[in-house]
Amino acid sequence: RKEVEQDPGPFNVPEGATVAFNCTYSNSASQSFFWYRQDCRKEPKLLMSVYSSGNEDGRFTAQLNRASQYISLLIRDSKLSDSATYLCVVNAKTSYDKVIFGPGTSLSVIP
């Protein structure tokens, strides 16, 4: 089983739609969780950190379920500019130490 798994998609959604991505991780000792965004052939960029209590940043909401070992990302009112690959990232410790990236979920927002 891979340490971090994501549905690769692609997710093709119309503008204005709500879309959700899930990510599962296998290491129960994982302590830090993030969502990164990567545009085609570009470098990944941090979208948001994921906190135990869940957190929201504008149209984006991230949730963590430690018991089931998954994190989620919800995007509301999708924009064309949201088209990208979304990477789930898990750190095993509170410092960086071992960083595991998921394979990514591809999103295309269609006019």
Partner 1 sequence: EAQVTQNPRYLITVTGKKLTVTCSQNMNHEYMSWYRQDPGLGLRQIYYSMNVEVTDKGDVPEGYKVSRKEKRNFPLILESPSPNQTSLYFCASGSTGVHEQYFGPGTRLTVT
**CA gap 21, 6 in Å, rounded:** 8
Q: Which of 12, 42, 56, 80 binds partner 1 (CB under 8 A)?
A: 42
User: Which are the contacts of 64, defined by CB distance < 8 A and separation ≥ 6?
Assistant: 33, 50, 51, 52, 54, 71
Whole-number minimum distance, CB 62 to partner 1, in Å?
A: 14
* 102 binding partner 1? (CB under 8 A): yes
Taking the least distance from each CB to partner 1, the nearer of 37 and 82 is 37
* 45 binding partner 1? (CB under 8 A): yes
For 33, phi then psi, to 5°, come to -140, 140
Site residues (vs partner 1, CB under 8 A): 32, 34, 41-46, 49, 87, 91, 94-96, 98-104
